[in-house]
Amino acid sequence: MSLAGLAFSVDGVAFQQQDATTSACATTAIWVALQKTAHEERFRTPTCSETTINATKFSLQYGRSIPNSGLSPAQMCEGVRASGLEPNLFEVSRDQQYCRYLAYSYLSSGFPVIACIYFYHVKKAKYDAMAAAIAAKGKGEIPEPSWDDGHAITLVGYRDDPSRGQSVWLEPEPGQKKIGVSMVGEQITEFYCHDDRLGPYARVNCIEPPWGTSDISIKWPGSQPPDLARIEYLLVPVYRKVRLSYQDVQRESLKLLRFLGMKGLPPLQDLALDFSVVRGRTYCEQLVTSRPVIPPGELYETLTRDSMPRYVQACSVGYRGAPLLDILFDTTESPLGDSLIGLVYRDPWARNHAHQLDSLVELYRSAAC
Residues 22 and 125 placed together within one structural domain of the fold: yes
Q: Are 104 and 55 in contact (CB under 8 A)?
A: no
Residues 61 and 162 placed together within one structural domain of the fold: yes
Residues 215 and 310 placed together within one structural domain of the fold: no
Nearest CA to 233 out of 98, 136, 49, 79 is that of 98
Residues 92 and 212 placed together within one structural domain of the fold: yes
Residues 100 and 152 placed together within one structural domain of the fold: yes
Residues 224 and 296 placed together within one structural domain of the fold: no
CATH value at residue 130: 3.90.70
Residues 145 and 234 placed together within one structural domain of the fold: yes
Quote the pLDDT of residue 246: 83
Quote the pLDDT of residue 16: 77
Residues 299 and 323 placed together within one structural domain of the fold: yes
Digitized pLDDT (tens) for each residue of the chain, 369 residues in all: 677 778 877 777 777 777 666 657 888 899 889 887 776 777 777 887 788 887 877 666 555 566 556 788 888 999 899 888 899 999 999 988 889 989 999 999 888 899 999 999 888 899 999 999 898 887 777 888 988 888 999 999 999 887 776 677 666 566 666 777 888 888 888 999 999 889 889 999 999 899 989 999 999 888 888 999 999 999 999 888 888 888 888 888 988 988 888 777 888 888 889 999 988 888 888 888 877 678 887 788 777 777 788 889 999 999 888 899 999 999 887 766 678 888 998 888 888 888 888 888 888 887 765
Residues 252 and 155 placed together within one structural domain of the fold: no
Residues 66 and 108 placed together within one structural domain of the fold: yes
- Final residue of a structural domain among 238, 264, 283: 238
Specify if 272 maps to a domain: yes
Measuring CA to CA, how many Å separate 307 from each of 284, 288, 312, 353? 11, 16, 11, 23
Domain tally, the chain:
2
Residues 276 and 220 placed together within one structural domain of the fold: no
Specify if 7 maps to a domain: no
| Cross-strand bridge partners of residue 277 | 313
Sign of CA dihedral 71, 76, 78, 84: positive
Edge-first strand order for the sheet with 340-345 is 167-170, 179-183, 271-279, 311-319, 322-330, 340-345
Specify if 362 maps to a domain: yes
348: left (phi over 0), alpha (psi -120 to 50) or beta: alpha
Residues 233 and 250 placed together within one structural domain of the fold: no
- Final residue of a structural domain among 204, 238, 272: 238
| Phi/psi of residue 147, nearest 5 degrees | -75, -5
Q: How many CB atoms lie within 10 A of CB 208?
A: 12
- Which residue range(s) make up the domain with 309? 246-368
- Final residue of a structural domain among 238, 264, 287: 238
Quote the pLDDT of residue 369: 58
Specify if 4 maps to a domain: no
DSSP 315-358: EEEEETTEEEEEEEEETTS-TTS--EEEEEE-SHHHHHTHHHHH
Quote the pLDDT of residue 166: 65
